[in-house]
Amino acid sequence: MLDLLSDHTFRTVFLGTAGIGAVSGAVGCFAYLRRQSLIGDVVAHSSLLGIMVFFLISYLVTGEGNKSLFVLIPGALVAGTAALLLTRWIIAETRLKPDSGLGVMLAIFFGSGILLLRWVQRATPNIPGKRGLENYLFGMAAAMTESDLWMIGGLGLFSILLMLLVWKEFKVFTFDPVFTQSLGLNTNWLDTLLLMMMVIGIVIGIQSVGVVLMIALLVTPASSARQWTGSLGAMVMLAAGFGAFCGGMGSLISFRWSNMPTGPVIVLVATSVFLFSLIFAPGRGLVYRYARRKQMAREARLEHQLDIDVGENQTGGMG
């Protein structure tokens, strides 16, 4: 581990994926509690269209496609936000249900992104800088640079600071939107801020985990943390810790065995943490619930036997 940390490339990827996991895990708690996991899926898949459009814009401006996160992340932010705003407008103006509207936007944006990706790959003449664009589907953490790390850190810090500044309002709005409105708070703005925070938490990880698997890093750490606590504050901190652990451990495993892709490994580590939490978490885990059911059954049998003994004693006394 110490030898790996002395390697500049591994250190950059390790810090980047751990930071992505921490931000995504913390933000994912609100998506999990508000049952908006599908929104995260839409944002992740829609970001591919923004990546391709901004890549092509950079090609038209400079004559060579730029794959820097400083160019592509803004495109992902624009596309993810546009998908959510269009979904909100369609739901308000038509009779489509929210899940149907989200499904339509996912298909349109992701399909358009795939179309542009395939066109760029097969374009004649060749577009300089196009090599590696397909890695945004499943991630390529090894391509992360120090400047990318600063970009990820800045956006992640902004998202966390936004959460802390509006913590009380977010907390009330997450559990009781009607009560939030009765307090005079603007629920539309709160919903928009939450969605913005979620978009940032998703798009910063598209290079490392990919647009297809990013939803797992958003929801899985939050689902794991929920098994251990009933407090929102503790859940957010646990989810951030789980996300950072999954990102860092996934990077370590993929660098230790170089033929293993980082993004899928991170998702598998997150899945392992979730399964462990689901089985062994106190209070909600399967082992605890099984032991609790056995204890209640044993207490019921003892109580039933006690009732029988009392009844027999009363009958014997009357005789």
Task: Count CA within 13 A, CB hemisphere, residue 177.
Answer: 10
Residue 317 has pLDDT above 70, yes or no: no
pLDDT tens figures, 146-191: 888 888 889 999 999 999 999 999 999 988 888 888 888 888 888 8
Q: Are 219 and 274 in contact (CB under 8 A)?
A: no
pLDDT score, position 245 = 95
> Contacts for 162-166 with beta carbons within 8 Å, 24 or more apart?
162/193, 162/196, 162/197, 163/26, 163/27, 163/197, 163/236, 166/190, 166/193
Which pLDDT value is given to residue 18? 92
- Per-residue pLDDT tens digits for 283-309: 888 888 888 888 888 877 787 777 666
Is the pLDDT at 41 greater than 90, yes or no? no
- CB contact at 8 A, 51 and 265: no
Cα pseudo-dihedral 59, 62, 64, 67, rounded to 10: -70
What single string gives the DSSP state of each residue in 33-96? HTT-HHHHHHHHHHHHHHHHHHHHHHHHHHSS----HHHHHHHHHHHHHHHHHHHHHHHHHSS-
Using alpha carbons only, what angle is made at residue 106 by residues 104 and 111, rounded to the nearest 5 degrees? 100
Question: Domain residues of the chain, as ranges?
Answer: 2-284
Question: Of the candidates 238, 208, 211, 201, which has an alpha carbon nearest to the alpha carbon of residue 222?
Answer: 238
Task: Kindly report, residue by residue over 188-204, the tens digit of the pLDDT.
Answer: 888 888 888 888 888 88
Task: Report the topology of domain 2-284.
Answer: ABC transporter involved in vitamin B12 uptake, BtuC (1.10.3470)
pLDDT, position 141: 79
Residue bearing the bigger pLDDT, 241 or 216: 241
- Predicted local confidence at residue 244, as pLDDT: 94
Q: What is the pLDDT of residue 3?
A: 64
Note the pLDDT of residue 2.
61
* Tally of CB atoms within 10 A around 78: 18
DSSP state of 210: -
